Amino acid sequence: MTDYCKDLEYIKETMEKATKFRSVNGLGVFGAGLVASLGSAFLWRLMRKEFGFAHETWQPLVQTIFLTLAAILVLAVLIIAVSSWRTAKANGENVFGKTAGHTLYNFLLPLAVGAVVALFFLYCGRVRFAFLFSLIFYGLALVNASKFTFNELHWLGLCEIATGLAGMLSMGRRIFRWADSYVHVVAATLDSVLWWATGFGLLHIVFGLWIYFKYNRKTAAK
Amino acid sequence: MSIIENLNKIFDSRIRLGIMAALSVTDAEDFNRLKELLGLTDGNLASHLRTLEEAGYIASIKKFVGRKPNTRYSITGIGSAAFKEHIGALEKLLGSQ
């Protein structure tokens, strides 16, 4: 009788394995990380230059920051989408299939919520919160979607969340030491750009290469 | 013992259960993907696929990707119903314990 139990278990396991979306392209993730690194380097330099003049709410810079972030996002999403679409084609996986749909839904839902939260803070001129919250929500989105795809994305998500929280902690430490003064806000905002660069730039570069060497290189060689 | 009669003979093999499980949650899978997913050899998988196809539980479409032949398998309506019934019978059997 335990055989029947094992049968059911096996069916469940196989279904879970079969529904994983396998066509995430490591090089695409790497490329997105590169774009994010360059973009945040640009932002950091721009914001540091304005250090002395910046209003507490960074209102004069908000538009440029928003446009730069939007450009990074569009480019990164395009790189990942096109490269994954090509990998899916090579794997014979349907990009518009159930699996890809499930993955996208589970990924986009937390991300959309995070985008609204980040935009709200950006609109209020609290740029540092926009940077840190976008990291945390992006991490949650990855963890949520990772059930349907590579396990590495689960780890990447956890790392993104950790980076965002570490940024918050470091900001909290500043508040503790210097109170919420103008200098603190400027320094914390510059710090948040660095945390953002770590999360969206460095982590994507590292995980992108990892995924590429683990999964994609084999397929590419075939 | 009417419950046991609902258990499908074709699904006696765990490999065939695996194939049906994989195909029931995806639109279609090709031969190599099934092989990799279930950890089987070419011959082993081919013979089980043939049994399922002869029973009308799965359908195959042969296509060419470039110059390589590529066979994709998908579950049929009959196959899906039979598989569901089999799972139901298994669950009932375990529930009656």
| Tens digits of residue pLDDT in A65-81 | 888 888 998 999 899 88
Which pLDDT belongs to residue A220? 55
Is the Cβ–Cβ distance between B32 and B45 less than 8 Å?
A: no
Domain coverage including residue B75? 2-95
Measure in Å the smallest separation between the Cα of B21 and chain A Cα atoms.
5
Q: What are phi and psi of A171, to 5 degrees?
A: -65, -40
pLDDT of A91 strictly over 80: no
pLDDT of A34 strictly over 90: yes
Domain count, chain B: 1
**A92 part of a folded domain:** yes
Domain count, chain A: 1
A189 vs A156 pLDDT, higher one: A156
Residues in chain A closer than 8 A to B72 (CB atoms) = 92
Mutate to test the interface with B, among A6, A15, A103, A222 (most CBs of B within 10 A): A15
Is the Cβ–Cβ distance between A141 and A160 less than 8 Å?
A: no
Strand intervals (E) in chain B: 29-30, 58-65, 68-75
Which pLDDT belongs to residue A127? 84
pLDDT > 70: percent of chain A: 86
Exposed / middle / buried, residue A2 (Cβ in 10 Å: 0-12, 13-18, 19+): exposed
**A14 part of a folded domain:** no
**B87: which 2 tokens?**
């799972």
Which pLDDT belongs to residue A222? 47
Domain coverage including residue A101? 24-217
Q: What is the domain-level CATH number for residue B53?
A: 1.10.10.10
**What digits encode the pLDDT tens for the residues A45-61?**
888 877 655 555 556 67
Region of A125 (left: φ > 0; alpha: ψ -120 to 50; beta: rest) is left
- What does pLDDT average to over chain A? 84
**A50 part of a folded domain:** yes
**A11 part of a folded domain:** no
3-class state of residue B96 by DSSP: coil
Nearest CA to A94 out of B4, B25, B82, B53 is that of B25
A207 vs B92 pLDDT, higher one: A207
A221 and chain B: CB distance < 8 Å anywhere? no
A55 vs B52 pLDDT, higher one: B52
Which pLDDT belongs to residue A30? 94
B67 vs A41 pLDDT, higher one: A41
**A194 part of a folded domain:** yes
